[in-house]
Structure 1
Amino acid sequence: MFSTAKKHWVLISASIAFIFFVATPILPFIKHARASWLPSRDDDATPFRSPKVNVFADLSTKEAEDIVDFLFQKTNLNLTKSSLAGDNDNQILLIEVIQPNKTDALNYLAGSSDPPTRWARVVIVQSATEEAQFVNYRIGPLPIRETTEILPLEFCYSSGRSYVRNPLPFQEELRLWSINMLMNVSDITRELLGTSLNPVDPNGLSPGARISYDEKGTLIVWADFSLSNPTGGTSTLLKQGLYVQIDLSTRDSSNWRSLQWYYNNILYDSVDDLRKAMKTPGFKKSPLNTDGRWTETVDFSEGHHDRNKPPPTNVQPMGGRYQIDEKEKFVSWMGFELFMRTSSDTGVTLHDIKFNGESVIYELGLQEALSHYAGDDPTQGGLEFLDGTFYMGRLMSELVPGYDCPAYATYLPSSYHFGEDTQVRENSICIFEHTADYPIQRHSSATRVSVSRNTYLVVRFVSTVWNYDYTFDYIFYLDGTIEVKIRASGFIFAAFWTGNEANEDEYGFRVHDALASSMHDHVLNFKADLDVAGTDNTMVRLAIEPITLEYPWDDVRTGPRNTMHLVQRLVEKETGLDWARNSGEMYIVMNQNKTNEWGEKRGYRIQPGSGVGSPIHLTIFNSTALGKSASWASQDLWVLKRKDTEPKSASSLNYLDPLDPLVDFSKFVDDEDIVQDDLVVFFNLGMHHVPHSGDIPNTLMHTAASSVMFTPFNFHDRDPSRLTSQGVQLDINSKKTKPRYFGRTYVEGAKLKKTDLEPDLTKFGLSSGNVSWVSNLLGPGPWA
Structure 2
Amino acid sequence: MEWRAKPLITLTAACFFAVLILLLIFPFDGGFSTPNYQSQKKQSFVAPKTNIWADLTESEASDIYDFLYKDLTYLNLTKHPKSNRDNFIFIVEALRPNKTDAVSYLYDAGPAPRRWAKAAVAQHIHNEPYMVYYMVGPLPLSPESRTVPLEYVFNSGRNYVKNPVQDFVAISEFGLTIAENISDITQDLLGAVANRENPDDPLGLICWPRGSRIERGGFSLWFQLYKPGLGSGARTLLPQGIYAKVNASDANIDGWTVGQFYYNGVIYDTEEDFRAALSEPDFVRTPPNVDGPWSDTEDFESSPPGRELPPPVSVQPYGPRYRLDREQQYVSWFGFEFYITTAQATGLALFDIRFKGERVMYELGLQEAMAHYAGDDPMQGGLEFMDSFFGMGKTMFELVPGYDCPAYADYLDTRFHQAHKTHELPNSICVFEHTPDYLLSRHTAQYSVTASRNTYLIVRAVSTVGNYDYTFDYVFYMDGTLEIKVRASGFIFAAFYARNSNKNENEYGHRIHDALASSMHDHVLNFKADLDVAGPTNDMVRLALEPITTTYPWDKPEVKDRNTMHLVEHAVTEEAGLDWPKNSGEFYLVYSADQKNAWGERKGYRITSGTGMGSTPHLTILNSTTLGDSARWAEHDIWILQRKDTEPRSADPLNYFAPHDPLIDFTKMANHESLKHGEADSPYDGDLVVYFNLGAHHVPHSGDVPNTLQHTSASSVMFVPHNFNDRDPSRESVQGVRLQLKGTKNSGGFAGETSINGDLRSRLDRRVGAQKLHDIKYFGSTYEQGMKLPLEAFEPDLERYRSSEHAVTDLSYNGSAAGVWMKGAE
- Shared fold by TM > 0.5? yes
| Pairwise CA distance, 1:268 | 0.2
1:493 corresponds in structure 2 to 493
How has the CA–CA distance of structure 1 residues 98 and 117 changed in structure 2, closer, same or farther, with 3 Å as cutoff?
same
Note if 1:522 corresponds to 2:531: no
CA distance in 2, matches of 1:489, 1:312: 22
CA distance in 2, matches of 1:597, 1:215: 57
Larger CA deviation: 213-222 vs 129-138: 213-222
The one-character-per-residue Cα deviations of 1:116-174 (angstroms, maximum 9, x if unpaired) are: 00111100112485111111011111111111111111100010110001011111222
Larger CA deviation: 381-390 vs 224-233: 224-233
| Pairwise CA distance, 1:44 | 5.5
Note if 1:705 corresponds to 2:706: no
Counterpart among 104, 129, 133 of residue 132 in structure 1: 129
Note if 1:748 corresponds to 2:785: yes
CA distance in 2, matches of 1:376, 1:186: 25
How has the CA–CA distance of structure 1 residues 95 and 41 changed in structure 2, closer, same or farther, with 3 Å as cutoff?
farther
The one-character-per-residue Cα deviations of 1:696-745 (angstroms, maximum 9, x if unpaired) are: 11101001000000000000000000000000011122496611000011
The one-character-per-residue Cα deviations of 1:664-710 (angstroms, maximum 9, x if unpaired) are: 00100122221350010000001100000111111010010000000
Letter in 1 for 2:654: L
Note if 1:436 corresponds to 2:433: no
Q: Which has the larger radius of gyration?
A: 2
Letter in 1 for 2:652: S
Letter in 2 for 1:134: M
Letter in 1 for 2:633: W
| Pairwise CA distance, 1:538 | 0.1
| Pairwise CA distance, 1:216 | 7.7
How has the CA–CA distance of structure 1 residues 289 and 20 changed in structure 2, closer, same or farther, with 3 Å as cutoff?
same
Note if 1:759 corresponds to 2:796: yes
Give yes or no for contact 2:540–2:590 (8 Å, CA) kept in 1: yes
1:245 corresponds in structure 2 to 245
The one-character-per-residue Cα deviations of 1:580-629 (angstroms, maximum 9, x if unpaired) are: 00000000000131110000011000001111100000000000000000
Letter in 1 for 2:793: D
Counterparts in 2 of 1:642-657, with a 5 A limit? 642-657=643-658
Q: What secondary structure does 1:505 align onto?
A: helix
Where structure 2 has 5 or more consecutive residues not aligned to the other structure, the ranges are 1-14, 678-685, 744-758, 760-772, 816-822
CA distance in 1, matches of 2:414, 2:126: 34
CA distance in 2, matches of 1:644, 1:19: 39
Larger CA deviation: 102-111 vs 17-26: 17-26
Letter in 2 for 1:527: K
Give yes or no for contact 1:97–1:121 (8 Å, CA) kept in 2: yes
Letter in 2 for 1:687: A
CA distance in 2, matches of 1:360, 1:372: 33
Counterparts in 2 of 1:28-107, with a 5 A limit? 28=26, 35-39=32-36, 45-73=42-70, 74-82=72-80, 84-107=81-104
Give yes or no for contact 1:613–1:706 (8 Å, CA) kept in 2: yes
Counterpart among 713, 716, 724 of residue 715 in structure 1: 724
CA distance in 1, matches of 2:43, 2:212: 60
1:422 corresponds in structure 2 to 422
| Pairwise CA distance, 1:515 | 0.4
Larger CA deviation: 529-538 vs 113-122: 113-122
1:449 corresponds in structure 2 to 449
Letter in 1 for 2:345: D
2:547 corresponds in structure 1 to 546
Give yes or no for contact 2:168–2:813 (8 Å, CA) kept in 1: no
2:597 corresponds in structure 1 to 596
Counterparts in 2 of 1:304-323, with a 5 A limit? 304-323=304-323
| Pairwise CA distance, 1:181 | 3.0
Note if 1:295 corresponds to 2:292: no
How has the CA–CA distance of structure 1 residues 445 and 42 changed in structure 2, closer, same or farther, with 3 Å as cutoff?
closer
CA distance in 1, matches of 2:676, 2:335: 29
How has the CA–CA distance of structure 1 residues 273 and 325 changed in structure 2, closer, same or farther, with 3 Å as cutoff?
same
Give yes or no for contact 2:45–2:324 (8 Å, CA) kept in 1: yes
Give yes or no for contact 1:491–1:699 (8 Å, CA) kept in 2: yes
Give yes or no for contact 1:452–1:726 (8 Å, CA) kept in 2: yes
Letter in 1 for 2:644: K
1:375 corresponds in structure 2 to 375
The one-character-per-residue Cα deviations of 1:160-206 (angstroms, maximum 9, x if unpaired) are: 11000101111122223332332222111111111000123313212
CA distance in 2, matches of 1:749, 1:251: 73
Counterpart among 678, 692, 711 of residue 687 in structure 2: 678
Note if 1:687 corresponds to 2:696: yes
How has the CA–CA distance of structure 1 residues 460 and 611 changed in structure 2, closer, same or farther, with 3 Å as cutoff?
same
Note if 1:151 corresponds to 2:148: yes
Note if 1:393 corresponds to 2:393: yes
The one-character-per-residue Cα deviations of 1:493-545 (angstroms, maximum 9, x if unpaired) are: 00000112342520000000000000000000000000000000000110000
CA distance in 1, matches of 2:65, 2:311: 50
Note if 1:739 corresponds to 2:796: no
Letter in 1 for 2:789: L
| Pairwise CA distance, 1:37 | 3.8
Letter in 1 for 2:184: D
1:669 corresponds in structure 2 to 670
Note if 1:331 corresponds to 2:331: yes
The one-character-per-residue Cα deviations of 1:612-655 (angstroms, maximum 9, x if unpaired) are: 10000000000000000000000000000100000000001000
How many residues in Structure 1 have an aligned counterpart in Structure 2? 761
2:175 corresponds in structure 1 to 178
The one-character-per-residue Cα deviations of 1:228-250 (angstroms, maximum 9, x if unpaired) are: 12731101100101000012233
The one-character-per-residue Cα deviations of 1:421-442 (angstroms, maximum 9, x if unpaired) are: 1111000000000011111111
The one-character-per-residue Cα deviations of 1:74-102 (angstroms, maximum 9, x if unpaired) are: 311221113x4321211111111111111
Give yes or no for contact 1:235–1:780 (8 Å, CA) kept in 2: no
CA distance in 1, matches of 2:19, 2:344: 13
How has the CA–CA distance of structure 1 residues 187 and 55 changed in structure 2, closer, same or farther, with 3 Å as cutoff?
same
Give yes or no for contact 2:176–2:207 (8 Å, CA) kept in 1: no
| Pairwise CA distance, 1:45 | 3.2
Letter in 2 for 1:733: K
